[in-house]
Homo-oligomer: A and B are copies of this chain.
Amino acid sequence: MSITRPMGFRAAAATAGIKPSGKPDLALIVCEPAVPEALRGHGAPIEPRAASAAVFTRNAVVGAPVTIGRRWREAYGTGHARPLRAALINAGCSNAATGEPGEQDARTTMHLAALHLGISPDEVMPSSTGVIGHRLPVGKIEAALPGLVKALARGHDADDAAARAIMTTDLVPKQAHREIELHRHAVHIGAIAKGSGMIAPRLDSASDTGGSPHGTMLAFITTDACVNAACLQLALEHACRESFNCISVDAHPSCSDTVLLMASGAAPVGPIHRDDPEFHGFRAALTALCQDIATKIVRDGEGATRLFRIEVRGAKSNEDAASMARAVVDSPLVKCAIHGRDPNWGRIVTAAGNAGIAFDPLDASLSIGGVEVYSAGVPTTVGKGDARLAAAMNADPVICELTIGTGPGHAWMLGCDLSADYVRINADYTT
């Protein structure tokens, strides 16, 4: 079980006919906030226990659901919107680059879902993935909704069905689950996600005003923890920075990247605030869950046969280190070398040198799988025939560690190789 493992959640999937393949393409996750039994009847007023948080792509061109989601988040952050009660997700059409008509289409589906669920339309978050520039087939979604709502359930089958319905070029459904203790009570966090191509997320934060964007991946996370809304957003942003923002399949960030976190508050602890020592435990568990899901996305990257991880240390700042790690993980030459198990480490060093970050090569060293190949600006004596280096290149993931100085900046990125299959998958995707 994943997303319905936390108390207060049900999920379902349906086949609306959006995907040309005729596979399931519509999922619904419903949050039913509840005051836990243990907290009832004390006479004291009970704080609202449900809360939601979200992060979105920084692409200048976004899907209509992202526009709606950003607006919801802004209103929610200032107390002008309610927490989310439902996520309505479709695959097969991203409803992106569709302008005002596309936004109207998304709003129509929010209204329809709200009607069936007996909630308000602004408690429904739409989410779409698939081909860009096509209008959302609202009629098909409308026709599928009654059955979808009727199918809402808890359990493995519901989770698995939802995880499969949101897939596009994914080969496997992606789910994760963590159980932690908060104030000696078991609390659950669950997630489903999709993503295989157009993956290089650079998710924003609620306080962003724009900036350099990058990755469609969708992740829907549920928890029965009761966490203060502002803290929930902070925890999610931290978790995304340390997971989804550190992966890249193909350097092309999507217009639809979204991570949504709904907390039902159904566990009999909390609300947890930022100064609560348990907050760090919650945040760490959420981060580990997101890293688990992020790794699954790269593992299922289009055409990917092997992963590699680049760590950059000694930069002036974490941001500098991240820019260099991203330049390495996105280099097609590095990705091809990983594919060919070829210890062509010059590509790694020069890719890092292209990030626009100044450093002295004489301070730079590179190890692959613990085998130093480049030290203080010169090649070591390890040649490509070295057995340890060959073993390092055969590892999965291949671990590359680049040190470029003595600064405190550190970052990592997880990427995958570039195979001929990537070309085959993407040379003819809309047809």
Interfacial chain B residues near A251, Cβ < 8 Å: 251, 330-332
Contacts of A213 in B (CB 8 A): 353-354, 356
Q: In the complex, which residues 40-65 of chain A have their Cβ closer than 8 Å to any Cβ of chain B? A: 59-62
Interface size of A in residues (CB-CB distance below 8 Å): 79
Q: Which residues of B contact A377 (CB under 8 A)?
A: 97, 99-100
Task: Give residues of chain A (117-139) contacting chain B, Cβ–Cβ below 8 Å.
Answer: 131-135
User: Residue-by-residue, is A314-337 near B (CB-CB < 8 Å gives 1, otherwise 0)?
Assistant: 000000000000000011111011
A399 contacts chain B at the CB level, 8 A cutoff: no
Q: For A135, what are the chain B residues with a Cβ–Cβ distance below 8 Å?
A: 379
Contact between B252 and A351 (Cβ–Cβ < 8 Å)? yes
Does A406 interact with chain B (Cβ within 8 Å)? no
Does residue A98 face the partner (Cβ distance < 8 Å to B)? Answer: yes
Summarize A's interface: helix, strand, loop or mixed: loop
Inter-chain contact B96/A426, CB cutoff 8 Å: no
- A99–B330 contact, CB under 8 A? no
Q: Scan A258-292; emit 1 where CB is below 8 A from any B CB, else 0.
A: 00000000000000000000000000000000000
Q: Give the contact stretch, choosing among A178-186, A238-246, A416-424.
A: A416-424
The listed residue (B61, B102, B333) touching A353 by CB distance below 8 A is B61
Closest B residue to A198 by beta carbon equals B333
In the complex, which of the residues B197, B214, B336 contacts A333, with contact meaning CB atoms closer than 8 Å? B197
- Report whether A427 and B361 are in contact in the complex, using a CB–CB cutoff of 8 Å: no
The quantity of this chain's copies bound in the complex is 2
Contact with B along A371-394 (1 / 0, CB 8 A): 001101111000010000000000
| Cβ contacts under 8 Å, A97 to chain B | 346, 349-350, 361, 374, 377-379
Please give, as numbers and ranges, the residues of chain B lying within 8 Å of A378 by CB-CB distance. 97-102
Inter-chain contacts of A337 with B (CB < 8 A): 426-427, 429
Is residue A160 contacting chain B, with contact meaning CB distance below 8 A?
A: no
- Please indicate the chain B residues that have their CB under 8 angstroms from the CB of A99 in the complex: 361-362, 376-378
A352/B210 in contact, CB under 8 A:
no
Chain A 205-216 interface 0/1 with B at a Cβ cutoff of 8 Å (1 = within): 000001111100
* Distance in angstroms between the alpha carbons of A213 and B96 in the assembled complex: 32
Which residue of chain B has the shortest Cβ distance to A254 in the bound complex? Answer: B350
Verify if A430 is at the interface (C-beta below 8 Å from B): yes
Asked whether, in the complex, the Cβ of B252 is within 8 Å of the Cβ of A61, the reply is no
Verify B379–A346 contact, CB threshold 8 A: no
Q: Chain B residue with minimal CB distance to A67?
A: B361
Asked if A61 and B426 make an inter-chain contact with CB atoms under 8 angstroms apart, the answer reads: no
Bound: A152/B133 CA distance, A:
59
**Which of the residues B102, B255, B353, B379 comes within 8 Å of A59, measured between beta carbons?**
B353
Q: Which of B340, B343, B350, B422 contacts A426 (CB 8 A)?
A: B340
By a CB distance below 8 angstroms, the chain B residues around A253 are: 350, 354
19 CB < 8 A contacts A-B: A60-B352, A60-B353, A62-B361, A97-B346, A99-B376, A132-B346, A133-B374, A197-B333, A214-B354, A250-B332, A252-B332, A252-B351, A255-B349, A332-B426, A340-B429, A342-B431, A344-B430, A384-B431, A420-B423
Nearest 5 CB-CB pairings of A with B? A132-B346, A340-B427, A61-B353, A336-B426, A212-B356
Given contacts A102-B378, A340-B426, 15 further A-B contacts (CB under 8 A): A61-B349, A96-B346, A97-B361, A132-B349, A133-B346, A133-B349, A197-B333, A198-B350, A213-B353, A213-B356, A251-B331, A336-B423, A344-B430, A420-B424, A422-B423
